Amino acid sequence: RKEVEQDPGPFNVPEGATVAFNCTYSNSASQSFFWYRQDCRKEPKLLMSVYSSGNEDGRFTAQLNRASQYISLLIRDSKLSDSATYLCVVNVNTGNQFYFGTGTSLTVIP
């Protein structure tokens, strides 16, 4: 079983739509959780960390459910510039073991 599982999509949504991505992880000892964004032919970059209480950054909201071992990312009012692949990332041992999901592809259509 993979450490981190994501629906690869693709998700094709119109501008202004709200879209949600989900991710599950298998190791209950996981400590830190993140969403990274990767544009085509570029390196991954941190979008936001995911904290136990849930957190929001502008149009982006991340949630963590430790009991269900589940992470989500909600994007409101989608922009064309949100088109990218969104990677769910889990850190098992602080600083050492990062596991990436396969990524969810999002295309925002005019």
Residues lying near another protein in the complex (CB under 8 A) are found at: 31-32, 34, 42-46, 49, 51, 85, 87, 91, 94-100, 102-103
- Looking at the Cβ atoms of 9 and 17, the one nearer to another protein is 9
> Shortest distance, CB of residue 39 to another protein, whole angstroms?
12
Tell me the C-alpha distance between 77 and 75, whole Å: 7
> Shortest distance, CB of residue 34 to another protein, whole angstroms?
8
- Looking at the Cβ atoms of 26 and 44, the one nearer to another protein is 44
DSSP of 17-78: --EEEEEEES-TT--EEEEEEE-TTS-EEEEEE--TT-EEETTEEEEEETTTTEEEEEE-S-
> Shortest distance, CB of residue 77 to another protein, whole angstroms?
25
- Looking at the Cβ atoms of 17 and 72, the one nearer to another protein is 72
Tell me the C-alpha distance between 65 and 63, whole Å: 7
